Structure 1
Amino acid sequence: MPLHVQASPGDRLVARETASIGDLRVMLLRFACSNFRSIKEKQEILFTAAKHVKEHDEAARTVDGLSKERVLPVVALYGANASGKSNMLKALEFFQRGVLFSQFEWNSGINRQPFLLDFALKDQASSFEIDFLVGGVRYHYGFVCDDKAVLEEWLIATSKSGPRVWLHRDAEGTSQYRGKIRDQGQAIKKAGFERENVLALTLLMQGKNSEMEGIHNFFSRKIDFNYPDQESDETLSLAYDEAIWSDVNKLLANADSGIEDIKIERTTSTYFNVFDESKNSTSYRQEPIFRHTMAKPDDYFKKNQESHGTIRLFNLSGPALMALRTGSCLCIDELDASLHTMLSRAIIRLFMDPKTNPKGAQLLFTTHDTNLLSTDVLRRDQVWLTEKDKGGATHCYPLSDFKTKPTDDIEAGYLAGRFGAIPFLPPWRSLIGGEG
């Protein structure tokens, strides 16, 4: 479903949807974890709207399966350097990979990275849990593990008829399968496929079951991650799709980057084959090349000739446009890295506006850009703050927990330390040994 991106007044990029609006079928509602990297006690982030927050009311979505809650399309994580905001994304990524690949990646141990500033926690369990929506059914899934084994695991499905426990597994290795996965679970037990270091959900998703197919689709196709140093492979892979590649071109052109056209250049290199001295081997590599507005028709610049900002926007454009097309959740670490505030705002607004985001795509990102704290960009329940206590443990809480007035300058209040989650520095001269 192509999105045609065109410029409009100010800093906004508006995408025009040309096909029918789809149902909001798959959405992330909540994620929580404990004893992972800098996260000691259980911390959570929510994509459900706070009832007392009224700004940008149109952004909070009403979704089948949630009668009393609405879902937010964007959540931002703020905090000082090393406050642990990126660790919330890394915890979600560890969780996702565990669900998909525990059968293969956990054979030699579970690399869970416990909180190390409290020695006692090294041998204590870590926990991870998620709430998500698939086809009008709310699922609550989680597991507890240490370095060697899964100690507990559960899956609860809540539909119009109420909550049902489909899966429960305890530290003694006893597992119970009920509801729509009962027969499949019993077959797994009978075949002897259960192992202490493999998640039951990993095994369940390999069977033919419509419910499990929906859950597998959520974990495998509806959560994507992007990091500042990530290469452009994901955007490059979209070049075969004429409609979305056209949107990548339009996105960069409308971002005032000076880019008029982007093509893919395929290069080859030959190297000595150590296994067969009579033959040389050839490798192929694809790289984007860029033509600027004032350049001659055949003059294209290579990637290493472009600015960091242009390359960062190119690397983000593919994942962002695909998320909008498929209704998935894109998790970006350091959205503001090499990007101007106006471009960050434009990306956020593509997800915030129901007209440009009819599939219910979601955006979770970390940032230091305080210009985005204005309530004309984000609701207060979309801003989550992270800070460390004296013991080095991360705490995560929403801005909506604080009483604010519509006239309050949120950015100024944040920088003044009203909401926490900022670095507290001594007088600047003392930073390098001078007098305060």
Structure 2
Amino acid sequence: MLVEFRVKNFRSLRDEQVLSLVASKDKTLQDTNTLATGISAAPLLLRSAVIYGANASGKSNLIKALQYMRGVVADSATVIQPGQIFAVQPFRLDAESASEPSEFEITFLLDGVRYQYGFSMTTQRIVREHLLVYKAFKPQRWFTRHFDVDSGKDVYDFSPGLKGPKSLWEGATRPNSLFLSMAVQLNSEALRSVFDWFVNHLVIFNEQVQLNPQVSIQMLKRADGRKEICQFLSAADISIADIDVETRKVPGQAVHFDLVAGRTEVRTEEMEEHRLRFHHVTEQGRAVFELLDESNGTRNLLFLAGPVLDILNKGLTLVIDELDTSLHTLLVRELVRLFHRLNINTGGAQLIFTTHDTSLLDAPDLLRRDQIWFVEKDRDQASSLVALSEFSPRKNEALERGYLMGRYGGVPFFSSILGLKH
């Protein structure tokens, strides 16, 4: 589970911003919306968090920062070539920040152990990297790495907690690769769980990595998966009784996007083509429709159903930019509630999303105060992230009205944007 994410000097996030999933001492909805960890430093973690902000406020940049960190961990040892530069973008509206490294750090829980991993980087190289492991209350600093300007070399410090041929891993780590990633590439079992959390436990959807229909389609090919998805759609009041999948092989082209290096490549590949047929049943009759006959909302919900059900089953962390796109507000509420239902979310899955749907703020028994965050830009065009709990709203305060009035920030001011007078 994600405990905390820190980022500094990435796109509009100039100053350090912290997204924390550590629950406050508020008892509201504690049984459903939080999860006990057994760790004194973070006894309860939130099962979901929502981020609000005006267009271009920087809320999508927060998701991109998390996505970029994940991409560097996943690809720096294998995809990035020697001497290749990173496509990282520091804050460019002041000279000092533009020349400084971008910084990322994540704290997460895996199998009862807390890990704190981070690195700093420029377009040319990794500048710093560290990993702390909390197997007891006092952390073990498994390794640190920093670039020494005078010698022009990376300097490492290891603790006995990290087992394996550390000198071999150190020697193989290039300036533009992470030690974590390279050590795992060279079969470090001790670090594999950290690497795997980024690659397999953190799922992110946004404009750069959109929902993959294949997850839902593969589920539909199995009888049990088809039943789960149809039940999911029926719960959303969509009258689909069954879905058929016909598959065939066809020649095609696939576009591969290298997020870390910032480039795309088109490859010719044999691809599978799927034809979906939807069986609708009502009291008045029944009919079969093609995929294009269904609404955008139904298609989006179908393609979201597979990943969401898989994430809930495996206890993963799901991050979505603009969850409310083409989904009715009541569907968004039900998706959030899935992560709060203890009989469904048995593995500690989490949902973090951005939205413009302000009605969620006053939805009955949906969100705690510490689950709500706001992003806004200052006059320097630097984004800041603030939790609603920092404003200490009254117990029965109308949050939607307060937000739209600008009480918590994160809303556009059209008069100043358009140069209009009040």
TM-score (norm 2): 0.87
Counterpart check, 1:249 vs 2:225: no
Q: Quick check: 1:388 aligned with 2:377? A: yes
Shift of 1:160: 1.9
Tell me which of 6, 12, 15 is aligned to 1:41: 15
**1:86, distance to aligned residue in structure 2 (A):** 1.2
The partner residue of 2:56 within 82, 88, 91 is 82
Q: 1:129 to 1:67 in 2, by over 3 A?
A: closer
1:328 maps to 316
Task: Check 1:180–1:242 CA distance in 2 against 1; reply closer, same or farther (3 A cut).
Answer: farther
Q: Per the alignment, do residues 322 and 269 of structure 1 end up closer, same or farther by CA in structure 2, a change over 3 Å counting?
A: closer
The letter for the 2-side match of 1:35 is N
Is residue 35–residue 121 contact of structure 1 (8 Å, CA) maintained in 2?
yes
In structure 2, the partner of 1:194 is 173
Question: 1:370/1:106 Cα in 2 relative to 1: closer, same or farther (>3 Å)?
Answer: same
Identity %: 33
In the alignment, residue 241 of structure 2 is paired with which amino acid? E
Pairwise mapping of residues 61-210 of structure 1 onto structure 2 (< 5 A)?
61-66=35-40, 68-107=42-81, 108-160=84-136, 162-172=138-148, 173-189=154-170, 192-210=171-189
Q: Which amino acid aligns with 1:163?
A: P
* Correspondence for 1:264 among 245, 256, 280: 245
How far 1:378 moved relative to its partner? 0.5
Distance in 2 (CA, whole Å) between partners of 1:306 and 1:234 is: 19
Any idea what the Cα deviations from partners look like across 1:5-43, whole Å, max 9, x if unmatched? xxxxxxxxxxxxxxxxxxxxxx11011111112111111
Q: What are the ranges of 5 or more consecutive residues in structure 2 without an aligned counterpart?
A: 149-153, 253-268
Call closer, same or farther: CA 1:242–1:226 in 2, change over 3 Å: farther
**Structure 1 residue 259: Cα displacement:** 2.1
Question: SS at 2:103's partner residue?
Answer: strand
Aligned pair in 2 of structure 1 residues 56, 92: CA closer, same or farther (>3 Å)?
same
Shift of 1:185: 1.8
Query: Cα gap change, 1:419/1:282 in structure 2, threshold over 3 Å: closer, same or farther?
Result: closer
1:308-323 pair list within 5 angstroms: 308-323=296-311
**1: CA distance, partners of 2:278 / 2:197:** 35
The alpha-carbon distance between structure 1 residues 283 and 29, as it changes in their structure 2 partners (threshold 3 A), is closer
Task: Say if 1:365 and 1:287 are closer, same or farther in 2 by CA, change over 3 A.
Answer: farther
Structure with greater proportional strand content: 2
CA deviations over 1:180-230 (Å, ceiling 9, x no partner) = 3243322323xx312111100002223545532322321121111223754
Structure 1 alignment gaps of length 5 or more: 1-26, 272-280
| Secondary structure at 1:322 match in 2 | helix
Provide the residue aligned with 2:288 in structure 1.
Answer: 300
Alignment of 1:217 onto 2:193: no
2:336 aligned residue: 348
Structure 1 segments (4+ residues) deviating >6 Å: 433-436
Aligned residues: 394
Return closer, same or farther for 1:170/1:290 CA change in 2, 3 Å cut-off.
same
Q: Compared with structure 1, are the counterparts of its residues 434 and 50 closer, same or farther at alpha carbon in structure 2 (3 Å cutoff)?
A: closer
Shift of 1:115: 1.7
Distance 1:118 1:45 in 2: 24
In structure 2, distance between residues paired with 1:98 and 1:163: 25
Separation in structure 1 between the aligned mates of residue 188 and residue 235 of structure 2, nearest angstrom: 44
